[in-house]
Amino acid sequence: MKEHEGSQLVISPIHLHDIGTRQLADELLLQLNEWNNVPMLYQLALEELQNKINVIKTELKQLNGYSPIEHIKVRIKEPKSILDKMKRKGCGLTVDNMLNQIHDIAGMRIVCAFVKDIYLLLEHFKQRSDIHVLEVKDYIKDPKPNGYQSLHIILAVPLILLEGTRWMKVEIQMRTLAMDFWASMEHILFYKYDKQVPAHVHTELKEASEAAYALDKKMLRIQKEILSNTTTSEPSLLSP
């Protein structure tokens, strides 16, 4: 999730020309105004989802004595990235295809204190009638070959608009602080080596990922020990 946060999805003939799409169908050009309405919908979807998550966060903090969420970042995918992805998927460059086949235009990253908090939030999402969980990819239980760990969720949230209710898709990536640190460093190294990372660096990154996971488990054990020795009047001391 490396797009510019808060970026605006404004599609114009210049953008399309820049990515090498020189001959577009006339019907696509006629849709430019509709394309330019898309960022508002996704921005509203992110705001709606963040409001729901803030309610969950407040309730869980009151219940458990600490906030399960360290921080949240959101972004709207860059126009060039959207169109490049549509071309890779081989789908026609239409607004309908963009809305139906590109699921990560709106992105949110939730960084949690502990691994268990990630799955706790997932269960809350599944139980809500105002959130539809469409797809889950668990790279925590089954990390990517390079060691990447995160829980990816595609969900839909309802927007109540003048024209009626419209469900908008958002991709959420949930990870711990240790996983987030690893992912940030891996991204920096990946581009430092111009995407050609030496084999020994791949090996060390995988080992670092395993160390991050071990750290997460150790911190969870420590938290459980602290909670078991803390009186009911003291949980707020664990809050950030």
Distance from C-alpha of 153 to C-alpha of 26, rounded to nearest angstrom = 35
If residue 13 lies in a helix (H) or strand (E), which one and from where to where?
helix 13-18
- Catalytic site residue 186? no
Q: How many residues does the chain have?
A: 240
Per the residue annotation, which of 34, 70, 171, 234 is the catalytic one?
A: 171
Q: Which residues of 109-121 are buried (b: 16+ CB within 10 A; e: fewer)?
A: bbbbbbbebbbeb
Give the chain's largest Cα–Cα span.
Answer: 69
Which residues are marked as active site?
Answer: 171
